[in-house]
Homo-oligomer: A and B are copies of this chain.
Amino acid sequence: PPWKFTKSHAEATIGREAFCDVSQEKTSRVRCVAQSQHHVAWDRTPQRVLVLAKRHADDEELDVAYRIARHLHEACGVDVLLADPLYEQIGKRLPAVELWQGEHVSRSPDFVATLGGDGLLLYANTLFQATPPPPVVAFGAGSLGFLAPFDVDDEQTGGTVEETLDEAVSLGEGELEPWPVSLRMRLRCRVVDGASGKVVGGHEALNEVALDRGNSPFLSAVECFCNDEHLTTAQADGLIVATPTGSTAYSLSAGGPMVHPSVNAMVFTPICAHSLSFRPIVFPDSCTLRFDVDPDARADAWVTFDGRSRVCLKRGDSLIVTASPHPLPTVLRLGNTADWFGGLRTHFNFNVRRRQQKIAEQFLNG
């Protein structure tokens, strides 16, 4: 054909590190497709592992956490770090363990083992804000979630905590297959002060960043931009930018779509938009979203990262959201699609035929 297509690279706007890009130069007649499955393998044997358990763990759960820490140390021969309060709770029984002192690139654990639900993963994410997070092997405590795919003692597959850990420290060794991993996109969120133009706050969010009206009656004069193109003046209770991981959490409650973890996208979901046309929008993760609070707005706005840390977005301030170059890698049990479908089944009753037939019954002759 007489034409050729070229592609300009994704460019940084807020001083982010050089992104790798989809660097096909000549695509002539053929489209690129989205990322597919990643895998993880060890370049060298892991030496340090951080163990986390949910904050209000009961005795039974503490026992499992103890099993994890002990096995890692005694059988796998790695150094074990415990964060508080777990260090307080089981540290005495494990003299060799170390207290986690916060993130340092030089002393970053080689992987993280967690015992708890999706909330614990949000907590784990807060521990690696300045450095690239290590892979996470997540055991569900009682309830399996989207982010914790491993059973403690899987009666079906016969896998125990100890067996899973044995495999985790040996990934890619000998005949072992590399494990499927999800490089979970994080949102790099920056709060920019209107007066000084300086970044005064920020977060690498795993689920979502949300703007809300706090105690004022609605979001006041928030201008929304994508790559500096003006989209709309938000008239709403709030705005959510979610990752695919977060698409099944808060954004879903606000009417957003469910987004498969392999899609390179950010979901922009308004909360109670005054205009009926203002619907959830899926943006590519290569774009920069910006939210300016008008200097003459009637009220300030509020920003919340993953439902926790909450900061005020004053009149004149901006919130800038891009894809972080540093994802949170979580080890998968079966793969992106199978693990995610498992989460849909657990949380949303997908594919449970009994219920569907019941609901359908009203349409049919009894």
Contact = CB atoms under 8 A, between A and B. Distances in A.
A130 interface: no
20 contacts: A6-B38, A7-B37, A16-B322, A20-B325, A21-B32, A22-B23, A22-B35, A32-B264, A117-B362, A119-B365, A232-B351, A235-B359, A247-B282, A252-B276, A257-B257, A259-B281, A260-B283, A262-B286, A275-B350, A307-B363
Contact of A351 (B231, B255, B282): B231
Interface stretch (A41-49, A94-102, A151-159): A41-49
A134 interface: yes
Interface string A344-363: 10011111010111111111
A22 B284 CA distance: 13
A302 B215 CA distance: 9
Interface in A126-154: 132, 134-135, 143, 145-146
Interface in A164-182: 178, 181
Q: For chain A, what secondary structure do more than half of its interface residues adopt (helix, strand, loop), or is it mixed?
A: loop
Interface residues of A, number: 157
A115 B262 CA distance: 38
Contacts of A307: 217, 362-364
Interface in A221-263: 226-233, 235-238, 244, 247-250, 252-260, 262-263
Interface string A321-353: 011111101000000011001001001111101
A183 B217 contact: no
Contacts of A43: 1-4
A204 B103 CA distance: 50
